[in-house]
Amino acid sequence: MAKITLEQIAHSYLRSPDTDDDWALKQLDLTWSDGGAYALLGPSGCGKTTLLNVISGLLRPSRGRVLFDDRDVTHIPSDRREIAQVFQFPVVYDTMSVFDNLAFPLRNRGVGEDRVRPRVIEIARMLDLEDMLYRRAAGLTADGKQKISLGRGLVRSDVNVIMFDEPLTVIDPHLKWELRSKLRELHQEVGATMIYVTHDQTEALTFADQVVVMHEGRVVQTGTPIELFEKPSHTFVGHFIGSPGMNMLPCDIRDGMPWFLDNPIEIASAVRGHQEASRLEIGVRPEFVRFGSTGVPVEIVKMADVGRYRVVDARHRGHSIKMVMPEDLDIPPENARVVFDPSKTQVYGDGWILT
Amino acid sequence: MIEKTVNQKAWFLVAPVVAVVAFNALIPLMTVVNYSVQETFGNNVFFWEGVKWFEEILHSPRFHDALLRQMLFTGIILLIEVPLGVAVALTMPRRGPWVSVCLVLMALPLLIPWNVVGAMWNIFALPDIGLLGKMINGMGIDYNFTQQPVAAWFTTILMDVWHWTSLVVLLAYAGLCSIPEAYYQAARIDGASAWAVFRYIQLPKMKRVLTIAILLRFMDSFMIYTEPFVLTGGGPGNATTFLSIDLVKIALGQFDLGPAAAMSLIYFLIILLLSWIFYTLMMRNEAQ
Amino acid sequence: MAIELRNVTKRVGGETHIYPTDLALEQGCFNVLLGTTLSGKTTLLRLMAGLEKPSTGEVWFKGQNVTGVAVQKRNVAMVYQQFINYPNFNVYDNIASPLRVNRTAAKEIDARVRKVAELLQIAPMLQRMPAELSGGQQQRTALARALVKDAELVLLDEPLANLDYKLREEFREELPKLFLDSGATVVYATTEPAEALLLGGYTATLHQGRVTQFGPTAHIYRHPLDLISAQVFSDPPINHARIRKQGGSFYYSDSVHWDVGGYRSLADGDYVIGFRPHHIGLTPVGGTTVKVIGSVVVTEISGSESVIHARVNEDTWVSLSPGIHPLKRGDEVQLHVQVDKCFYFDAEHRLIPRQDI
């Protein structure tokens, strides 16, 4: 296991990039500590797979250095970086049995058969694959194959990091829960550094202790799931995490207080640096909006029953304010007003947080 | 899985093909069956002979020799062409500007008419004026394919390898290209050697196309006629008289229509049987 | 009724893909087929489309028996999980293709293509080729092709499965509106319960080739007919446990029991309860709750909730609790089950209606 440091990494697939858009990864610095569970979250094309390939050594970055602990591995190929990777589509060696699949990385490294067997059986037990050790891997279901891919990483004791590239893409929803909690459980059991790449916020937030959110080749925020949820540092994070995403309302600052059209909005902390921003917005999550006797008058346009909660679409002078309401809470029939939780309401200037 | 609905109109579209197949496969085949059980002395006079010709052919040493020669030839060229084709396919680039160059180069021998190939190699290998023949003799090896059976075999096999390895290369290459990049990456991460990658990823994924390649090469080489006929004419002696050459000798050279028809039917059944056995074995393996 | 399956079955080889099914969908409604992979969703769609002929039974469309009528002769549109467009046509020609087959006048084609492209926000990409589009735009093109046809029956087979999370959210809002405005009857197959709820309309739950329940989406979410339907319609999976009724109480174990409440007249014996993960939490909420002690298997924390997997006696349950609870494996937790929100099932796993309401 090792600490992973990315120093001023940037990458372009073009030979001579000139504009900003030519860079798939714009400059970034990241440090991932030993034994952590990390997620790399972002929409397709945000650069997360490029970053993953830089770490695994399948891609050499145009600029910057990759360090495992204090060792510079930037120019070391992936097979000598001692990493493991689980891909989007399951990769198993079809002609081998489950046992041989799991033993493969050990045998390749010349580990003796007397040590291979107990290790493979131990890993199979962790992954609930014991019953099918002697079946051919080709006949397994998608989730079984993904477990094998994962097992091939776990079986080695010298692995620096295990990486997951959208590993649940081909798994049925009801099995996703199982496999995901299994991953989480394994992380706690073996304590390996794990990096999980996904576009699915639920997978990222539930898996990781630290989530790195990427947008257009940049890291826009690194934080715990709670920080990302309660205090997004960029409007993109507010929009991308949470379902529905954060409400963004235009505002201006009068005497240090944000105003949404003609409504003063109370917030817990002071706004700084708003003079330089050309566009100011108030951000509040649907979970932190509730009905009140004072506040912004709204008209209720739509209400969606999502089972365990309801999503209310309220409008104030054409601006949509979404609210998430518990299953059995009543909704005022008319003259509804909404208030925002002051400690969970932020002001953004040109997309970046000002509070 | 997309299946189409039943639409009876489709039969009209198939009708021309059915007619063509009937005309150029079924009718000639039935004619052969007809000949194989009769004796003729010309003038369209036929006598019923039953299975006499079949018995005669099956017991004739001449047929046995030709069959043995044929099997040896097919075995040798399969043993050379399949591994060689796979090896060449493995060295071909999988992307970039060189892909099309390689593909065109590989396809070239396949585009040359068979009799031209035979004539080409005939001249190429002549000991006195041919480049190949002259070279081999220059190296101090006595080589004359028109007189030495071994040299004749060597030349015929070399010619077939030159002509047909490309087919195996192209098929194997297509199989290799269909392997997702993730497999190679996973193997690199697992620390697999180049041999292990070949044995556990490339070979299993190429199995289907290789089955097809082997079948095609088997059937084609078993029926080989034009090239050795032009190159050696079946000689020296009967050294390179393969089944089809022998068949033509009987049918046209001696005008023994009955035995020739019986022989071609036996010939046809052997190919059918061997192909079927091979294919079934490969597919059964697949199912397990 | 727009489309009706009457006692339809489908067998392929020796295998039964669809057991006898009756299903009647109303004109102009949005319908969801919810079930796992291989539960028969796609087969049902294909039977409705006429891409497959039922082994027995009849398919009726608008009062006419259309069993065995070829798909070309029906006004049906279908969109698949894979983004299927003609790769050598640009977006415009892709959208226009179903109209060209019908020999529509060029002027009308142009008007309709542009209108649909506008609706689906792909008007600026009309001249591009499918390969130059993002996944979302490719699927928009495929949807536009379905919409431009003015089909009476639109079948969508997991159309969002290959799209990014946030894009799915956008589409889910747009889709029902788009198709319902066109007056079409829509059937939408999905594996995700949350998607069914967001789409609304009617839902049929499918399990191993059978429709287990059909009705208004929110209604069948709250009133499952049996344990299977409840399981199909629950993500995270619904928790269940064996209980015993004896006298005035239900017993989960000797120490965990509660008053029978509305089930007083039920015979004594064994039953099964099912409860959703948000009806079991770390703090007691409203109604009647009972307390159980469990041991944490794993905790997953999202931004605002914790998903706690815990072992209680022989069962493993999932709790979805508001707030952040960083519990570790093996920690002992008190969990509160809202027993008045539980579903009670008999020995055959059929729902027992409450008798006091």
Nearest CA in chain A to C235: A174
- Take residue B261 and report the two structure tokens written for it: 């028809």
Has residue B42 got a pLDDT over 70?
Answer: no
**What is the mean pLDDT of the segment spanning C201-223?**
93
Residue B2: pLDDT band with limits 50, 70, 90: very low
Has residue B286 got a pLDDT over 70?
Answer: no
Query: For chain C, which residues make up each domain, given as ranges?
Result: 3-232, 239-345
pLDDT at B246: 83
Residue spans in chain A of domains classed CATH 3.40.50.300: 4-235
**Residue A96: which of B183, B186, B200 has the nearest Cβ?**
B200
- Take residue A84 and report the two structure tokens written for it: 């493991």
DSSP per-residue codes, A84-115:
EEE-SS----TTSBHHHHHHHHHHHTT--HHH
**What is the mean pLDDT of the segment spanning C314-340?**
89
Q: State how far the Cα of C344 lies from the Cα of A163, in Å rounded to an integer.
A: 43
Domain C239-345 top-level CATH class: mainly beta
Contact assessment for residue B141 and residue B151, using Cβ atoms and an 8 Å cutoff: no
Residue B186 to chain A, least CA–CA distance (Å): 7
Residues of B in contact with A149 (CB under 8 A): 186
Question: Which chains are within 8 Å of A by 3+ CB pairs?
Answer: B, C
Residue B3: pLDDT band with limits 50, 70, 90: very low
For C76, C281, C287, C292, the CA distances from C338, given in Å and listed in that order, are: 46, 9, 7, 11
Query: pTM for this structure?
Result: 0.80
Q: What is the pLDDT of residues C46-95, one digit of tens each?
A: 999 988 889 999 999 888 898 888 887 888 899 998 888 898 999 999 99
Which H or E run includes B91? helix B61-91
Has residue C37 got a pLDDT over 90?
Answer: no
Residue A229 to chain C, least CA–CA distance (Å): 5
CB contact under 8 A, A91 and B200: no
Question: Which chains are within 8 Å of C by 3+ CB pairs?
Answer: A, B
**Is B191 touching A (CB cutoff 8 A)?**
yes
Q: Identify the weakest region by mean pLDDT among B271-285, C14-28, C195-209, C241-255.
A: B271-285
- Take residue C88 and report the two structure tokens written for it: 């050598």
CATH fold of A4-235: Rossmann fold (3.40.50)
**Prior bond of B236 cis (ω within 30°):** yes
Q: What is the pLDDT of residues B177-202, one digit of tens each?
A: 989 888 988 888 888 889 999 999 99
CA angle at A11 for the pair A8 and A16, rounded to the nearest 5°: 120
CA angle at B226 for the pair B160 and B234, rounded to the nearest 5°: 85
Nearest CA in chain C to B4: C51
Residues of B in contact with C51 (CB under 8 A): 3, 5
Tens of pLDDT along chain A (355 residues)? 678 999 999 998 888 888 878 888 888 899 999 889 999 999 888 888 889 989 988 889 999 999 998 889 999 888 788 888 888 888 999 889 999 999 999 998 888 999 999 999 999 998 888 898 999 888 888 888 998 998 998 888 888 889 998 888 888 777 887 888 888 888 888 888 999 999 888 889 888 889 999 998 899 999 998 899 989 999 999 999 888 899 999 999 988 889 999 999 999 888 888 888 889 999 999 999 999 888 899 999 888 888 888 889 999 999 999 999 887 777 777 888 999 999 999 999 999 998 8
Q: What is the pLDDT of residues B75-123, one digit of tens each?
A: 999 999 999 999 999 999 888 888 889 999 988 999 988 888 888 888 8
pLDDT at A353: 92
Interface probe, candidates A56, A80, A85, chain B, greatest B C-beta count within 10 A? A85
Of A99 and C327, which is predicted with more confidence?
A: A99
CB contact under 8 A, B200 and A108: no
CB contact under 8 A, C53 and B5: yes
- Take residue A192 and report the two structure tokens written for it: 């390996």
Domain C3-232 top-level CATH class: alpha beta
Residue B44: pLDDT band with limits 50, 70, 90: confident
Interface probe, candidates B5, B6, B7, chain C, greatest C C-beta count within 10 A? B5
CB contact under 8 A, A207 and C300: yes
Q: What is the pLDDT of residues A123-139, one digit of tens each?
A: 999 888 889 899 988 88
User: Which ipTM did the prediction report?
Assistant: 0.78
Of B84 and B6, which is predicted with more confidence?
A: B84
Residues of B in contact with A79 (CB under 8 A): 188-189, 191
pLDDT at A15: 83
**Is A58 touching B (CB cutoff 8 A)?**
yes
Contact assessment for residue A213 and residue A237, using Cβ atoms and an 8 Å cutoff: yes
Nearest CA in chain A to C287: A328
DSSP per-residue codes, A192-246:
--EEEEES-HHHHHHH-SEEEEEETTEEEEEE-HHHHHH--SBHHHHHHSSSS--
**Residue C301: which of A206, A241, A287 has the nearest Cβ?**
A206
Ordered by where they begin, the domains of chain B are: 61-287 (1.10.3720.10)
CB contact under 8 A, B7 and C70: yes
Mean pLDDT value across chain B: 85
